[in-house]
């Protein structure tokens, strides 16, 4: 056997992908488990990444006319009961408040007291509570369209949790709009999906497939659900964003009516759309390697770290002024409308400094010692390349080309992810090949399987459920840009009506 390659993360992706993910989150300092079951603490390095994602996405929303607002965390149970399909879809995940205070027993124990006259659900999503406000804000066609977004936290009582990907409480945005016509609402549904795709591809460097969900996978209560799906490095799919055309279902439930231009009364047509901190998990799984996370420069928590090389006390007086000057020159630059964030790490911990920043995924590492200063150069490592691949560059040239280097890293990550998805996507039209594709080759590693299968489907829910029951594989999306469908359904053999993307998913 050959010598085992040194990696910062143990186990590697190939050895145990789920555990690799947990170790990367821990080693990068992104987040940690909370003392509250199923919840997470997002640490500063992870939260600054989320802030950058929020900033970019919020600007894209506002460019389409959307404005931000905030709505209550608590929703009366009676609001959810107005939309039967909606409440059924979320009932098992709801956290419910039934009391409004605590009292101390004789033994010192605190127990609930003051029962509420109506239980309150802790926000799992806000269609109903926002619909209540919309019903008061909208009276005329002149009030439409109404385009609202909120940045908030939600609670969905998950049984199995994983940091960023699925937690009982998480951060997200939810957009809610109301329109005078079906066509306008449908156009907005597609528009916001395109916004998500642009953000995830252009900023997170994750390629996505756009399409619509099958009826069985739709948002509860929606008429149509559009989605973007991304492939992770274990070849599973991650739903990175959804946009829902709600028709008039929620408008009827919340009594959102308006007077039309010809003085008739009509129900509004509504949409909702959302994405969350699971994008951070997707970024880790799409770009990480066996040394940790790799951050795309456009949303990175910081762009570069300068590591002064100080071996003798007298070196500090030579090195630090050079380091501070370099940091100042870089910080004067902007990168995609954001001032460059440059870290300086002069801790006296030897080689552990470099490994810390590799695991954190910072795009560029800059080492500077007395010899580099004498030559007016810097020693540079890029996170998208092997940690041993470092080069000496003239300092002035490095500063002048710094943002171009960041763009090159961004493009490299995106192109690498595209190539990985293409290499793990197959057009499969035969049932036995389809089942073999999704059958784990190693019973000890059930996550190892084929990838994305583009296959014909008859459109029957029974076939969709049969495949899900047999293989834990679902229809991720029905692509907008599908070729004409030929052949037989991958499950039942009847003539196919659609070509869809099947995959295992988070």
How many whole angstroms separate alpha carbon 108 and alpha carbon 105?
Answer: 5
Residues 6+ apart with CB under 8 A from 179: 144, 145, 185, 188, 268, 269, 270, 271
Residue 120: alpha-carbon gap to chain centroid? 28
CA Rg, the chain, in Å?
A: 26
- Find out whether 453 and 433 touch, Cβ atoms under 8 Å: no
Q: Is residue 445 very low, low, confident or very high in pLDDT (cuts 50, 70, 90)?
A: low
Q: Which CATH number fits domain 17-287: 3.40.50.1970, 3.30.930.10, 3.65.10.10, 3.40.50.720?
A: 3.30.930.10
Q: Place domain 304-405 in its CATH homologous superfamily.
A: Anticodon-binding domain (3.40.50.800)
Phi–psi pair at 503, nearest 5 degrees = -165, 160
- Find out whether 484 and 499 touch, Cβ atoms under 8 Å: no
Phi–psi pair at 28, nearest 5 degrees = -80, -15
**Whole-number average pLDDT of the chain:** 95
- Find out whether 7 and 20 touch, Cβ atoms under 8 Å: no
Measured CA distances, 5 to 14, 290, 291, 386 (Å): 13, 10, 11, 12
Q: Quick: pLDDT tens for 300-340.
A: 999 999 999 999 999 999 999 999 999 999 999 999 989 99
Residues 6+ apart with CB under 8 A from 400: none
Q: Is residue 484 very low, low, confident or very high in pLDDT (cuts 50, 70, 90)?
A: low
Q: Is residue 71 very low, low, confident or very high in pLDDT (cuts 50, 70, 90)?
A: very high
Q: Quick: pLDDT tens for 94-149.
A: 999 999 999 999 999 999 999 999 999 999 999 999 999 999 999 999 999 999 99
The CATH architecture one would assign to domain 425-503 is 2-Layer Sandwich (3.30)
β-partners of residue 364 are 304, 382
Q: Where do you find CATH 3.30.930.10 in the chain? A: 17-287
How many whole angstroms separate alpha carbon 71 and alpha carbon 173?
Answer: 12
Q: Where do you find CATH 3.30.110.30 in the chain? A: 425-503
Q: What is the pLDDT of residue 89?
A: 72
Least confident of 43-52, 374-383, 445-454: 445-454
Residue 343: alpha-carbon gap to chain centroid? 26
Kindly tell me if the per-residue pLDDT of 448 is higher than 80: no
Measured CA distances, 327 to 45, 321, 358, 366 (Å): 19, 10, 19, 10
The DSSP element (H or E) to which 355 belongs, if any, is helix 352-360
**Mean local confidence (pLDDT), 71-89:** 85
- Find out whether 242 and 173 touch, Cβ atoms under 8 Å: no
Instruction: Name the strands in the sheet holding 304-308, side by side, starting at the edge strand that comes first in the sequence.
Output: 342-344, 304-308, 364-368, 377-382, 390-394
Q: Where do you find CATH 3.40.50.800 in the chain? A: 304-405
Q: What is the pLDDT of residue 73?
A: 98
Kindly tell me if the per-residue pLDDT of 13 is higher than 90: yes
Q: What is the pLDDT of residue 391?
A: 97
The token duo for 219 is 């948002």
- 76: exposed, middle or buried (C-beta count within 10 Å: 0-12, 13-18, 19+)? middle
Measured CA distances, 474 to 233, 239, 444, 454, 466 (Å): 18, 12, 22, 12, 10
Question: What percent of the chain stands above pLDDT 70?
Answer: 97
Q: What is the pLDDT of residue 483?
A: 58
- The Cβ-side half-sphere exposure at 265, using a 13 Å CA radius, reads 6
- 481: exposed, middle or buried (C-beta count within 10 Å: 0-12, 13-18, 19+)? exposed
């Amino acid at each position: 056997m050959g010598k085992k390659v040194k990696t910062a993360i143990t186990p590697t992706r190939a050895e145990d992908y789920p555990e690799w993910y947990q170790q990367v989150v821990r080693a990068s300092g992104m987040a940690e488990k909370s003392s509250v079951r199923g919840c997470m603490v997002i640490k500063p390095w992870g939260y600054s990444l989320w802030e950058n994602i929020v900033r970019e996405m919020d600007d894209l929303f506002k460019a389409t006319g959307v404005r931000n607002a905030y709505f209550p965390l608590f929703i009366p149970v009676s609001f959810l009961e107005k939309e039967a399909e909606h409440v059924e879809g979320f009932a098992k995940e709801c956290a419910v408040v039934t009391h409004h205070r605590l009292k101390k027993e004789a033994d010192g124990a605190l127990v609930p007291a003051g029962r509420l006259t109506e239980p309150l659900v802790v926000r799992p999503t806000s269609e109903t509570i926002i619909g209540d406000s919309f019903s008061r804000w909208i009276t005329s066609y002149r009030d439409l369209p109404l385009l609202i977004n909120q940045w908030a936290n939600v609670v969905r009582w998950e049984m199995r949790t994983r940091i960023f990907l699925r937690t009982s409480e998480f951060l997200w945005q939810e957009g809610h709009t109301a329109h005078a016509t079906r066509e306008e609402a449908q156009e907005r549904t597609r528009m916001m999906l395109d916004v998500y795709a642009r953000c995830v591809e252009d900023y997170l460097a994750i390629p996505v497939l756009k399409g619509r969900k099958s009826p069985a996978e739709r948002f509860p209560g929606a008429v149509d659900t559009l989605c973007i799906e991304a492939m992770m490095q274990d070849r599973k799919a991650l739903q990175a964003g959804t946009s829902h055309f709600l028709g008039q279902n929620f408008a009827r439930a919340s009594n959102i009516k308006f007077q039309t231009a010809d003085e008739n009364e009509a129900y509004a047509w509504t949409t909702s759309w959302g994405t969350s901190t699971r994008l951070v998990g997707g970024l880790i799984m799409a770009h990480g390697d066996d040394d940790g996370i790799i951050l795309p420069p456009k949303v990175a928590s910081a762009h570069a770290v300068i590591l002064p090389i100080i071996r003798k006390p007298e070196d500090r007086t030579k090195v630090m002024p050079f380091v501070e000057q370099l940091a100042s020159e870089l910080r004067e630059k902007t990168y995609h409308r954001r001032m460059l964030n440059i870290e300086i790490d002069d801790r006296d911990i030897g080689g552990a400094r470099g490994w810390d920043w590799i695991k954190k995924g910072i795009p560029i590492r800059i080492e500077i010692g007395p010899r580099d200063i004498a030559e007016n150069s810097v020693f540079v490592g890029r996170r998208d390349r092997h940690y041993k691949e470092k080069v000496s560059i003239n300092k002035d040239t490095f500063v002048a080309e710094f943002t171009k280097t960041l763009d090159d890293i961004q493009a490299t990550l995106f192109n690498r992810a595209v190539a990985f998805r293409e290499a793990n996507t197959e057009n499969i039209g035969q049932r036995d090949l389809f089942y073999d594709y999704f059958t784990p080759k190693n019973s000890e590693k059930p996550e190892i399987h084929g990838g994305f299968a583009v296959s014909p489907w008859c459109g029957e829910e029974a076939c969709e459920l049969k495949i899900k029951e047999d293989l834990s594989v679902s229809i991720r999306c029905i692509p907008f840009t599908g070729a004409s469908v030929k052949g037989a359904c991958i499950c039942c053999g009847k003539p196919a009506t659609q070509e869809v993307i099947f995959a295992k998913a988070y």
